[in-house]
Amino acid sequence: MAQANRERWDLGGTQMETLLTEVARFKGESLWQDAWRRLKANRASWWALVFLAVFGSVSILAPVLPLPSPTAIDLQIEPQPPVAPWTELGNDGYRREYWDLNALDEGLVSLRQSVFGDWQFSNWLGTDAKGRDILSRIIWGSRTSILVAIAATICSLLIGVSYGATSGFLGGRIDNLMMRIVDVLYSIPFIFVVIFLITIVNEYRTELEDNWGINREVVFYVVIGAIYWLTMARVVRGQVLSLRETEFVEAARVVGASSARIIFVHLVPNVLSIVIVYLTLTIPAVMLFEAFLSFLGLGIEPPKVSWGLLAVDGAEVINPVRIYWWLIVFPAAAMGSTLLALNVLGDGLRDALDPKLRGKD
């Protein structure tokens, strides 16, 4: 092959050798691989990522772990304090009581029963006033909170990126109009919008659920997502605005690529690094928002658990006579550490994806 090339293009010997050595050391490294390497070198972000991965797996695997039921009520006089695992690892008091789980989770719970039988962990983190296990509630609650966060973030991502990229790419009057719409939406206090939408949805909830299969939670995701796309759209639009003047976009036009193609094949991958960084900051914001709405009674409804509802339970028992600290400390610690990890990861991702920005805010 090399010989054939040499004859064919009549390149000088040394010239060809240089080219061939260039080929030899050649193994495509994309910007993503490069970023991944840099992320691994950043110790704080790496541990944040590990923490999130472990926490995420535990959360996904919740139904198969030998946790007590998060909803099985055992009416007692007062919340039970934590039992250290080394004094009592577990007992045989498991009761299969959940809210309406989907088929997959039902299956997983059955799997748990066939493996562990009635054995369950003791109340390592104590119980609440109704005798429900806090550890189990935190882990099951994390599923709800993480799901809301991810679903709402994806929703905001889809709307924000397409809106922002289109606006920035088209430019001129259309861009102006689209951005003014964003400004108007920004100026509406969105907590009212959420309360308004959720109230309306409550009004028609049976209808929606029967006819469209839309339950309150789906609406919840979409509503939060529909609010958080605004900043995403602005960020993406700003990036696209500078990218569309670059020569490779001109080159794509010259090749005959359509506008949609230029936006989604050439521009969007180039803004992804910023979008990803922004995502890791949106997820915690959405989580907090979910907790806030659930706290107000507008979000997730009992018997389901979410971190917001746990905070409600915790806040209820704070009184001057006797403080059941485990009701507030453990849920808060779980939520706080997750949010911290997400923020640290976001910071590390920004450094990894855009080395030029390192050390700046």
Partner 1 sequence: MATALDVRDLSVRFDTQHGNVQAVDSVSFIIEEGETLGLVGESGSGKSVSSLAVMGLIPSPPGVVTADAILLGDRDLTSLNAEALRKVRGKEVAMVFQDPMTSLNPLLTVGRQLTEVLEVHEGLSQREAYQRAARGLGDVGIPAPEDRLAAYPHELSGGMRQRVMIAMALLCNPKVLIADEPSTALDVTIQAQILELMKELQERHGTAILLITHDLGVVAGMSDRVNVMYAGRIVETADTAPLFDAPCHPYTQGLLGSIPDLTGVAGEDLYSIPGQPPDLAELPPGCAFAPRCERARDECTAAVPATLEPAADRLSACLDAELLAREGGAR
Token pair in block for residue 271: 């803004």
Minimum distance, C-beta of residue 279 to partner 1, in the bound complex (Å): 18
**Whole-angstrom Cα distance, residue 123 to residue 85?**
9
Q: Which is nearer to partner 1, 252 or 279 (CB)?
A: 252
Minimum distance, C-beta of residue 254 to partner 1, in the bound complex (Å): 4
Q: Which is nearer to partner 1, 277 or 305 (CB)?
A: 277
List the one residue out of 41, 56, 29 whose CA is nearest residue 348: 41
Minimum distance, C-beta of residue 158 to partner 1, in the bound complex (Å): 20
Burial of 286 (0-12, 13-18, 19+ CB in 10 A): buried
Q: Which is nearer to partner 1, 11 or 219 (CB)?
A: 11
Minimum distance, C-beta of residue 174 to partner 1, in the bound complex (Å): 13
Which positions lie near partner 1, rule CB under 8 A?
A: 1-2, 5, 9, 11, 16, 19-20, 22-23, 26, 28-31, 172, 246-248, 250-258, 261, 265-266, 269-270
Greatest alpha-carbon span in the chain:
93
Q: Which is nearer to partner 1, 43 or 173 (CB)?
A: 173
**Whole-angstrom Cα distance, residue 351 to residue 52?**
19
Q: Which is nearer to partner 1, 216 or 253 (CB)?
A: 253
Token pair in block for residue 244: 């569309």
Q: Which is nearer to partner 1, 34 or 316 (CB)?
A: 34
Minimum distance, C-beta of residue 193 to partner 1, in the bound complex (Å): 36
State in Å, rounded, how far the first CA of the chain is from the last one.
Answer: 51
List the one residue out of 331, 335, 330, 305 whose CA is nearest residue 69: 305
Minimum distance, C-beta of residue 14 to partner 1, in the bound complex (Å): 12
**Whole-angstrom Cα distance, residue 161 to residue 166?**
8
Token pair in block for residue 61: 């695997």
* Residue 322 per-residue DSSP state: -
